[in-house]
Structure 1
Amino acid sequence: MTDASSTLSRLGRTLARRPKTVVLTWVVLIGLGFATALGAFGNDRLFDRLTTGEPSVSGENLQGRDLIVEHGESALKTYTVRVDGVDPRDPSVAPVLAAVKEVPGVAEVTPPVPGPDGFATVVTLAGDPDRAQQEAVEERVRAAYAPLTSGNSGARVSAGGLSDLISAITDQLEVDLRTGEGIALPVSFLVMIVVFGGFVAAGMPIVGAIASIAGALASLLGFSYLIDLDTTAVNVVTVLGLGLCIDYGLLMVSRFREELRARAQGMPARDIPREMVAEATARTVDSAGRTIVFSGLTVAISLGGLIVFEAQIMKAVGAAGLSVVLIAMVVALTLIPALCVLGARRLLRRGTEVAPEHGVFSRLAQWVHRRPIPIILGSLAVLVALALPALDVRLTSSGEELLPTSSPERQFFEGLARDYPQLGGADVTVVAQAPVAQAKEYAAGLALPAGASVRGVEAMRDGYSVVSLDVPGGSLGDPARALVGELRADRPDFPTWVVGQASGLRDFTDSMVERAPYAFALVALATLVLLFLMTGSVVIPVKALLLNVVSLGASLGVLVLVFQQGHLEGLLGFDSVGAVESTIPLLVLAFGFGLSMDYEVFLLSRIVELHEQGYSNDDAVVMGLQRSGRIITSAALLVVIVFSGFVAGKLLIIKETGVGLAVAVALDATLVRMLLVPATMTLLGDWNWWAPKRLKALHARFGITE
C-alpha cells in the first residue's frame, strides 16, 4: 500500500493532477538550458570558457614556475610560425619579418631558425591579450607572412600557439560530445523500444536524458565562472548526467507500468480511471522515487570524494558532478512521472496483465543458489586477472597527443618538435637560488642520463638562475622522470626547484596518493551508513563495498591493457602514448563506484522490500533479482551504449573515459550484480541481515524503509 503521508507519495499525487503543467515547465527549462550553454543570451558559450593542460597542484613544480615568472621573464604569449620551401637567406625574408614586428600587438620576432626545408620564427605578443584579441593579432601575423608564398608554389606557411592547441582540443571535445550523443540517444531509443515494446515508453527516458544534458551544460557554464573547468570535466559530467537519467527513467517507467498493471488486472487500458492512474503514480514515486534518491545520494557521495583532492580539476568535476546528479534526480522525480501520467493508457495498450514472478532472472538466481562457492571463486578469479595490469599503470599528461593524428594542430606541433627541437621548451628545468656562475658549476657536475645535455644556464633577477636540460625521450619519457627523481633527491648547497612536465606529473600523483586514503574513507563511511539505513544490515554494505573495489580494479586493468599497452588501437582508432592520462583512473574510480552503487541500490531495494514483507533470504533474492534483473540489465546496456558512443570520439581522453566507464558498468551488471551478489547472499544466508542490537535499534528509529 502507498504511504499517503510520505513526501514522495504526495509529490506523486501532485504530479498526477498537473502533468501538463510539469511537462510544459520542463520544455521551457530545456530550451533555456541549451540556449544559455550556447550563448544565446549574450553570455559566453560554455565551450569557449573551457581550459586544458596538465593538471597542477601546489608543490615544487608550481613553486618553480612561479619563481621563473617572478624573477625571470613574464609569462608572455608566443606564436610560432613555420615557413617551408623558403631559404631563410632569401632577400624577401627580412622585409617580411620587419613587417611582422610592426603588426599592432606584436612585441618581438626572433631571427629565423633554419630547418630542413625552410625556417621558423617565434612571435611574442605584447601585453596580456584576451582570446579574441590574441586571435586578431595572430590573423594579422599570418597575413604579414603571406608575401613569402605569393608566386612560390612550393612555399607553405603554418603557425600555431598554445591557444590554438587549446582551441583545437575544446572544439574537438564539442564535436565528440555531439557525436557521442548522436550515437547514444538513437541507439538507446531503439534498445528501449525492444525492452518496453513500444515507442511511448521508450521515449520517456530519452526525453529525461535530453533534459539532463540541457541542465548539465547550463550548470557547467555557471561553474565555469567560479572555477576553471577542464575539457575532461565537461565530458565526464555530461556523460554521467545522460547515463543517470536513462537509468532513472527506465526504473521509473518500469515501476509505473508494474503498479498500474497490478491495479488494472483484466481491465482494458482505455477504461483505466484517472484515480487509478493517480494511485499508481503516487506509489511509483514513493517506491521507485525512494530508490532513485538513495541511488543519487550514493553517486553524490562518490563524487564528493573528489572534492577532498587538491587538484582543481578534481574539485571542479566533483562540484559540477554533484549538480548534475541533482538535476538527474529532479528530472526522474518530476518530468518522468508526469510523462507517465500523460501516456498511462498507451503504456498498457498491449494489456494489463501482471508481470510474471518467475522468468530468466529468477532461474538464474536459483542456478546460482545451487553452486555459490564455484561461482564466487570463478567470478573473483576473472576480476582479479583483469585487475592485475593495473599494478603496472603508468600515468601521463598529454598535450597535442590528445588530438587524433590527422589533426592539423597535432601535425604542426609534432613537426615542430621533430624539425626545430631548439624552439621547444627544455625537457627539465632547474630553478636555482644562486648566481649564474654557481649555477653553471652545478650544471657541469650533474650526472645526466645517456644522451641528455645542458641546453644552457641563464641568469634571472634577484640572484636566481635557471638551468635548462634536454633529455632523450622528451619531457615525459622515462629518462626525464628518472632525472626529476635524482635532482630532487640530490640537492646542492643552495635551494633548487625542479620544473617541467615530469615534475608536475610527480607532484600531481604524489598529491593524489596522499589524499586518496581520506577520500576513500569519506566515501566508504558515507556509503556504509547510507546502505545500513536502507537495509538495516552491516554485512550487506561491507560486502557491496568490497565487491565494488574488486570490480573497479578490473576496469582499471582493462584501461591499462587497452591504452597503455596499446591493445585494440586499430579497432578503437587511437595511437597509444604508452600511458594513461593522469586524471582518468581517479575519475573512472569515482564515477564507476557511483554507477556500481546505483545498480546495487536498484537490486537491494527490491530484496529489502521483499525481506521486510516476510520472505526468506533466498526467496527475497530470487524474487528481487527477477523483479529488478531486467531493469538493471537494460539500464546497464543503455549506459554502456552511452559510453560506447563517446568511444567513437577522436579525443584520446574521451576514448579513455568511455572505455573505462563502459567496462566498469558491464562488469558490474554481469559478474557482480547477476552472479556475485546472489551467490554471496546465498552463502551468507540470514547472516546477510545481521547487525549489533544497538545498531538494530538505531535502524528501527532512523532507517529509511518502505
Structure 2
Amino acid sequence: MSRVFARLGRLVAHHPRLTVVVWMVLTVAGYALAVLGVHGESLFDRVATGAPGVSGAESTQGQQVLNDERATGPGVTLVVDGVDPAAPELGAALDDARADLAAVEGVATVIDPLALPGGAANPAAAPLLAEDGRGFLVVVDLEADLDDAAETAALDAVEQRLRAVPADLRAVAPDATGLVGAEHLIVDEITDQVEQDLRTGELVALPIALVVMVLVFGGFLAAAMPMSGALASIAGGLGSVLALTYVMDVEASVVNVVTVLGLGLSIDYGLLVVSRFREELHRLVDGDGGAASRRRRGDGPVVQAVETTMATAGRTVAFSAVTVAIAISGLLAFRPDILRAIAAAGVLVVLVAVATALTLVPALLTMSGRRLAGAGVLARVPGVRRLLARASDVDREEGAFSTLAGRVQRHPWWVMLGSFALLAVLALPVLRMDLRISGIELLPAGTAQRAYVAALEEDYAGASAPAVTVVAATSLEEATAWAQDVAALDGVASVDPPTAAGSYVVVGVRPDGTDPGGDVAVDVVRAVRDLDTPFERWVVGQAASQIDFTDALVERAPLALTVVAVATLLLLFLMTGSVVIPVKALLTNTLSILASLGVLVWAFQDGHLEGLLGFESTGGIETYVLALVAAFAFGLAMDYEVFLLARVKELHDGGLPTDQAVRLGLQRSGRIITSAAAIIIVVFAGFVAGDLIVIKQVGFALAVAVLIDATVVRLLLVPATMTVLDRANWWAPAPLRRLHERFAILH
C-alpha cells in the first residue's frame, strides 16, 4: 500500500506544473459553472427548498394528493395594512389594480373583500379582513397547468403589480403599506439566504484559517499550500453538487453543509501533508549537511521528501477519507431524500478534498522545493520569532504534548473516569431533544417573507392554513360527520368546515396554541391517525411531517449504525491489527458525539445562546440535523483518530512500548490534530455567523464536536485508556492476527 502512494508522489513530483495547471482549469470551471452559471443555470438556480419529507410516508402522500387536486396554480397574496376597509373610496381606488392583475396572462382569479357586493360588510369578506380592522388581503391565483416559463412570467408580473397597490391607495389611505408573499417568494428568500450565508462563512473562515496556518508553519508559503487545496476543493465540491442536481433533488442547505465539510477536510489533509513534507525535508537536508541548498526545484531531496510524505501522510489521508466517507455513507440507509442527497454530495466532496491533498498540494510542495525548509519571512520580525518557535512545526521528541501525555499517564484511571464523567454530563440534554421540521422559522426574524407569514398568523386567522390537515377519500357528508369526532379530541381548538378538493375532501384541524410543530399539534396528529376512519385518509402538516421523519430515522437507524460500525471496525482492525482499539474508538467517539448533541440542545432548543449567536429558538432541533451531525461528527472524530493512531502504530511497530509510543505519537501528531481542529472549528464557526438557523445548528454542533474530540478525547481520554490497557491495546485472536498480516492496509 505504501508503494502505491509513493509512486503517486513520485509521479506528481515529476510533473508538478502539469498537475497545478489541471487543478487551475478544474477550479475555474467549477466556479464558473456552479457559481456563475455560465452554462445557463447556477447551482443555486437548481437546488430545491421546502420542508424535508419522506418518500412514501403518509404526510408526503397526502400533500401530493392536495397538489394534484388543486383547481388553480400557485398564488400571490398582498397584505394591506394601515387602512380602514370600510372607507367608501377604497374600493374604487383598487379598480385599476384589479384590471391590471386580471389582464396578466395566466391569472385565474383576483379576490379582495372590497370587490364583493356590500364590500367589507359582506359576511363572505371576513376571512380577508384584518382582525384589528386595519387591513385586508388581495389574493391572486394563477391558472393550473401553466408551463414553467409562463408561470414564472405571470408570478413576476403579479408580484410587481401588487407591490404598487399601496401607492395606488395613498390618495384615500395615506398610511397604507403592503407585504407581498407567496410560496415561491419564501423559496427564493431561503435560497438567497443560503447563498449569502455561504459567502459569509467563507469570508469569515478563510482569512482566520490562513492566520492559524501561518502560526502553525511559521510563514505564508507553507500556509498557502493547504489554503490552495481548500480553494480548489470548494470549487470542485460546488461543481460536484451541481452535477448531482441533474441526478436527484438537492435541498438548498445541502450546499452549505457539504461545502463546509469539504473546506474543513481539505485544510486538515493539506495541513498533515505539508507538515510531514517539512519534517522529511528537514531530515534529508540536515542529513545532507545542508549542501546544495540552491539546487533546482524538483531535486533529489525534494522528490524523495514528497515520496516519503505520500507513503506516510498521504496514506493516512486516504485512509482517513475512507473512514469519513463511510460515516457519511451511512445516511444512504435512511429513507428521507434530503439525507440521501447529503450523503451523495458529502462523499463527492470528500473525494475532491482527498484528491487535492494527494495531488495539488504535493505538486505545490515540489515547486516550492527547499524554500519550505527555511524560516519564513515572519520569523525575521522582532517579537514574532518567539511566538512562531512555539507554534510552528518543529520536530522534537519532547514538548507540550508529550509532557501532557506523561501527566495523563501518571494518573490514567482518574483522567479516564473524569473524561467519561464530563462527556456524560454534557450529553444529558440529549434525553430531552425535541426534533422539529421548521418552516418559515428557518429564516431570521425581520426578513420580508417571515414578516408576511407573521402578519397572516396575527390578523388573518381565517385565511391562514390550519396546522393539521386531513385529506379524505370520501363524500362531503361523511367527512362532515367524521369531523365531529375530530373536534372532540383533546387538544383540538376547532375544526374547519370540510371542503371539496376534486374527488377528495379536506378537513382543517386547528390545535390549541400557535405552534404548528409543538407537542400539542403532534399529539393531535397522533390522535387523528388513531381514530377509527371508515375511509382512506392522510394527515398532513408540519407536525405530521415531523412524526413521519422521526419514525423514518428510528426505523433505519439500526441498519445505518450497523453498517458504519462494522465498516469502521474492519478498517481500524486492518490499520492496527487490534480488535480492542477499534471497539474503544467506537465507544469514545459515540460518547463524544452525544456530548456535542447535548450542547446543541442546550444552546438552540433551550435558547441559552440566542443573544450570542443571533437567532430565535424554534423550540427544537431540526430533524435531519441530528442524523447529519451524528454522521459528520463521527467521520471527523475518526479523522483525528486515524491521525493519532497512525503515528502511535508506526512507533509501536518500531519497537517502542505502548506508553512511550503514545507519548511520542501524541507529541508528533498532537500539534497537527489541535491545529487542524482549530482551523476546522474556525470554518464551522464561520458558518454559524450566517443567518439560516439550520446552518447555524449544523456549524455549531460540528464545531463543538471537533472541540470536544480534539481536547477531551484526543489529548486526555485516548492516552489514558491506551495507558490503562497497555499491551492489551494490540490484542487480537490468532486467526485475526494472521488475517491482518495478509491484508493490513497501512503496514
TM-score (norm: length of structure 1): 0.96
1:303 to 328, 334, 354: 328
Distance 1:242 1:375 in 2: 33
Deviations 1:247-275 (A, max 9, x none): 00000000000011111114168346711
Unaligned runs of 5+ in 1: none
Deviation for aligned residue 1:126: 1.9
> Is 1:267 matched with 2:264?
no
2:5 to 8, 13, 38: 8
Deviation for aligned residue 1:532: 0.5
Deviation for aligned residue 1:97: 2.3
Unaligned runs of 5+ in 2: 114-127, 377-391
Check whether the contact 2:219–2:375 (CA below 8 A) recurs between aligned residues. Answer: no
> Is 1:526 matched with 2:555?
no
Alignment of 1:520-669 (within 5 A): 520-669=561-710
Deviations 1:38-63 (A, max 9, x none): 24432311011111221111211122
Distance 2:409 2:149 in 1: 65
1:349 to 359, 362, 374: 374
Deviations 1:164-187 (A, max 9, x none): 111111111111111111111100
Deviation for aligned residue 1:125: 1.5
> Is 1:114 matched with 2:129?
yes
2:274 to 227, 244, 253: 253
Distance 1:292 1:500, change over 3 A: same
Distance 2:401 2:561 in 1: 33
Of the structure 1 ranges 258-267 and 431-440, higher mean CA displacement relative to structure 2 is found in 431-440
Distance 1:399 1:75, change over 3 A: farther
Deviation for aligned residue 1:344: 2.4
Deviations 1:255-297 (A, max 9, x none): 0000111111141683467111111110001111110111000
Deviation for aligned residue 1:198: 0.5
Aligned letter for 1:114?
A: L
Distance 1:56 1:610 in 2: 49
1:187 corresponds in structure 2 to 208
**Count of paired positions:** 701
Aligned letter for 1:424?
A: S
1:171 corresponds in structure 2 to 192
1:149 corresponds in structure 2 to 167
Distance 1:494 1:128, change over 3 A: closer
Check whether the contact 2:72–2:143 (CA below 8 A) recurs between aligned residues. Answer: no
2:359 corresponds in structure 1 to 334
Check whether the contact 1:92–1:148 (CA below 8 A) recurs between aligned residues. Answer: no
Deviation for aligned residue 1:217: 0.5
> Is 1:699 matched with 2:743?
no
Alignment of 1:438-449 (within 5 A): 438-446=478-486, 447-449=488-490
Check whether the contact 1:86–1:148 (CA below 8 A) recurs between aligned residues. Answer: no
Distance 2:521 2:199 in 1: 38
SS of residue matched to 2:129? strand
2:16 to 19, 22, 44: 19
Aligned letter for 1:299?
A: V
Check whether the contact 1:531–1:541 (CA below 8 A) recurs between aligned residues. Answer: yes
Aligned letter for 1:62?
A: T
> Is 1:436 matched with 2:476?
yes
Deviation for aligned residue 1:696: 0.4
Check whether the contact 2:179–2:448 (CA below 8 A) recurs between aligned residues. Answer: no
2:181 corresponds in structure 1 to 160
Of the structure 1 ranges 112-121 and 324-333, higher mean CA displacement relative to structure 2 is found in 112-121
Distance 1:12 1:143 in 2: 59
1:372 corresponds in structure 2 to 412
Distance 1:320 1:53 in 2: 18
2:61 corresponds in structure 1 to 63
SS of residue matched to 1:343? helix
1:421 corresponds in structure 2 to 461
Distance 1:564 1:205, change over 3 A: same
2:123 corresponds in structure 1 to none
1:126 corresponds in structure 2 to 143
Please provide the CA RMSD for this pair.
Answer: 1.9
1:478 corresponds in structure 2 to 519
Deviation for aligned residue 1:144: 3.6
Aligned letter for 1:538?
A: V
Check whether the contact 1:264–1:272 (CA below 8 A) recurs between aligned residues. Answer: no
Of the structure 1 ranges 85-94 and 283-292, higher mean CA displacement relative to structure 2 is found in 85-94
> Is 1:232 matched with 2:229?
no
Deviations 1:108-164 (A, max 9, x none): 122331113221022111234566644432332244443552443422232111111
1:52 corresponds in structure 2 to 49
TM-score (norm: length of structure 2): 0.91
SS of residue matched to 2:310? helix
Aligned letter for 1:439?
A: A
Distance 1:75 1:59 in 2: 25
SS of residue matched to 2:446? coil
SS of residue matched to 1:159? strand
2:305 corresponds in structure 1 to 280
Of the structure 1 ranges 478-487 and 293-302, higher mean CA displacement relative to structure 2 is found in 478-487
Distance 1:560 1:354 in 2: 40
Aligned letter for 1:270?
A: S
1:317 corresponds in structure 2 to 342
2:402 corresponds in structure 1 to 362
Check whether the contact 1:149–1:157 (CA below 8 A) recurs between aligned residues. Answer: no
Check whether the contact 1:307–1:314 (CA below 8 A) recurs between aligned residues. Answer: yes
Distance 1:130 1:618 in 2: 70
Aligned letter for 2:157?
A: R
Distance 1:475 1:353 in 2: 54
Of the structure 1 ranges 492-501 and 433-442, higher mean CA displacement relative to structure 2 is found in 492-501
Distance 2:730 2:516 in 1: 55
1:289 corresponds in structure 2 to 314
Of the structure 1 ranges 262-271 and 7-16, higher mean CA displacement relative to structure 2 is found in 262-271
Distance 1:76 1:474 in 2: 28
Distance 1:129 1:404, change over 3 A: farther
Deviation for aligned residue 1:481: 0.8
Distance 1:524 1:648 in 2: 33
1:212 to 212, 233, 237: 233
Check whether the contact 2:76–2:159 (CA below 8 A) recurs between aligned residues. Answer: no
Distance 2:442 2:394 in 1: 52
Aligned letter for 1:404?
A: P
> Is 1:85 matched with 2:85?
no
Distance 2:535 2:347 in 1: 46
> Is 1:73 matched with 2:113?
no
2:102 corresponds in structure 1 to 101
Distance 1:636 1:133 in 2: 50
Distance 2:237 2:434 in 1: 32
Aligned letter for 2:436?
A: T
Aligned letter for 1:295?
A: S
Deviation for aligned residue 1:473: 2.1
Deviation for aligned residue 1:380: 0.8
Distance 1:542 1:353, change over 3 A: closer
SS of residue matched to 1:494? coil
SS of residue matched to 1:228? coil
Deviation for aligned residue 1:484: 0.5
Distance 2:281 2:52 in 1: 51
Distance 1:205 1:159 in 2: 46
Of the structure 1 ranges 352-361 and 158-167, higher mean CA displacement relative to structure 2 is found in 352-361
Distance 2:72 2:595 in 1: 43
Distance 1:130 1:415, change over 3 A: farther
